[in-house]
Homo-oligomer: A and B are copies of this chain.
Amino acid sequence: MGKRPTRDDVAREAGTSTAVVSYVINEGPRPVSEETKQKVLAAIHKTGYMPNGIAKSLANGSSDTYALLVTDMANPFLAQMAQALEHELFSRNKTLLVGDSNDDPARQLELLEAFQRQQVSGLVWYGVDQPLPLNAIDSYPGTVVLINQPAGSPAGQQAGRRIRVEVNEYAEAQMATEHLISHGYQHLAMISGPKERLNSRERIRGWKAALRQADMEAGALISAPYTRQGGYDAALQIGEETDAVFVSNELQAMGFLAGLAASGRRAPDDVAVVAMNRTPAASYLVPSLTAVQLPHAQMAKRIAEVLIGNIVDVEDGGNTVDTGSRHGAKPAGAGVRLEPGKNSDDLECIGVNHTLVIGHSCGCTGR
């Protein structure tokens, strides 16, 4: 590893002081004459100099690195978030570190520590256990963005330097369920995530709220892991009377469709299916999956702004029903309205608008 040129080499080459080289590179904080500037630039070019980000961070007391801490990188929904976030950070000259807790709370904390040691300037946290270890978050020396914290949770109430993204899974679930109701299905079941998780409960609440509003009774509620196999197994447990199912996670929905097929049933004829946290894969399942989608690009943008401290303004907007699949579709009800709100001075909530993207699995398109 042949020694790379340093700022000293550039200064020597340019016949200036090292300070001037910094001024040129950073365009400040002091002015430099055009002539000197050119000499420095030439020297940089000639030596092939490239600033040492590590040294820069040490001197600055802060790094250009941010981290994403998730439960499962292989989950397409989260991989998509990672991708979107990477793009936003890249365009701001920042880099993204990833941590995969593998659904393990202990590991989650170890990753937090590792990030802290690496002087990661801020992190986006899709937590495993909920409520999250608030003390760990509070003591984190940087901005923390929480993606999946329900509004009523402690993380959403306690003040701190962290910022929560209001995904409102409650409303997502409600929207999905309302769509099924609008089709006239009578016996709505739900596949939820593990019961002990706060976000599972949020989704269940949304499902129940929609049913209540329509004055309908809740059907079977099956709790399953947020995995394909979880959905597959759940499909085998769905009773004859059930004519529509709200699946609370796309991975589960994928398995659910497979399970239905394996047991000789089909969506939407035998059982209609609507899911949430959609990814582009939904359009290519057989049948294509109707699901609620989060505006991940918009979320990533907001998150990046918040992390880096270049907050612009929170755009408002209602939730909509889209015909986003390749197939024809008839729009349907469900227009929940989310409001970007602030709970306290320290805690910014970012409103996120979700959308229902129609596929074949809900029966919208005949068969």
Residues in B whose Cβ lies below 8 Å from that of A51: 117
Interface membership of A83, Cβ < 8 A: yes
Is the pair A80, B74 in contact by a Cβ cutoff of 8 Å? Answer: yes
Is the pair B73, A142 in contact by a Cβ cutoff of 8 Å? Answer: no
Residues in B whose Cβ lies below 8 Å from that of A4: 141
Interface membership of A97, Cβ < 8 A: yes
Interface membership of A214, Cβ < 8 A: no
Interface membership of A270, Cβ < 8 A: no
> Which among B58, B98, B102, B228 is the interface contact of A96 at CB below 8 angstroms?
B98
Given A1-B142, A86-B99, A117-B53: A286 touches B286 (CB 8 Å cut-off): yes
Residues in B whose Cβ lies below 8 Å from that of A116: 50
Residues from 272 to 326 in A contacting B, C-beta threshold 8 Å: 279-281, 283-288, 326
Is the pair B280, A258 in contact by a Cβ cutoff of 8 Å? Answer: no
Q: Nearest residue in B to A143 (C-beta to C-beta)?
A: B1
Q: How many residues of A contact B (CB 8 A)?
A: 62
Instruction: Kindly provide the distance from the CB of A168 to the nearest chain B CB, expressed in whole angstroms.
Output: 23
Is the pair A76, B73 in contact by a Cβ cutoff of 8 Å? Answer: no
> Which among B98, B279, B283 is the interface contact of A98 at CB below 8 angstroms?
B98
Interface membership of A13, Cβ < 8 A: no
Residues in B whose Cβ lies below 8 Å from that of A1: 141-142
The listed residue with most B CB atoms (<10 A of its CB), out of A100, A111, A142, A288, is A100
> Which among B2, B74, B326 is the interface contact of A79 at CB below 8 angstroms?
B74
Interface membership of A38, Cβ < 8 A: no
Given A73-B79, A79-B79, A141-B4: A280 touches B65 (CB 8 Å cut-off): no
Query: In the bound complex, what is the Cα–Cα distance between A55 and B51 (angstroms)?
Result: 16
Is the pair B100, A87 in contact by a Cβ cutoff of 8 Å? Answer: yes
Is the pair B118, A65 in contact by a Cβ cutoff of 8 Å? Answer: yes
Is the pair B95, A115 in contact by a Cβ cutoff of 8 Å? Answer: yes
Residues in B whose Cβ lies below 8 Å from that of A117: 50-53
Is the pair B280, A53 in contact by a Cβ cutoff of 8 Å? Answer: no
Residues from 28 to 78 in A contacting B, C-beta threshold 8 Å: 50-55, 57-58, 63-65, 72-74, 76
Residues in B whose Cβ lies below 8 Å from that of A14: none
Instruction: Kindly provide the distance from the CB of A309 to the nearest chain B CB, expressed in whole angstroms.
Output: 12
Interface membership of A119, Cβ < 8 A: yes
What would be 25 A-B contacts, judged by CB atoms less than 8 Å apart? A51-B117, A53-B118, A53-B119, A54-B54, A54-B57, A54-B63, A72-B83, A73-B86, A74-B83, A76-B79, A79-B82, A90-B99, A90-B110, A90-B111, A95-B115, A95-B118, A96-B97, A96-B98, A232-B284, A257-B286, A258-B284, A258-B286, A261-B286, A261-B287, A281-B281
Q: Which residues of A contact B (CB under 8 A)?
A: 1-2, 4, 50-55, 57-58, 63-65, 72-74, 76, 79-80, 82-83, 86-87, 90, 93, 95-100, 102, 107, 110-111, 113-119, 141-142, 228, 232, 254-255, 257-258, 261, 279-281, 283-288, 326
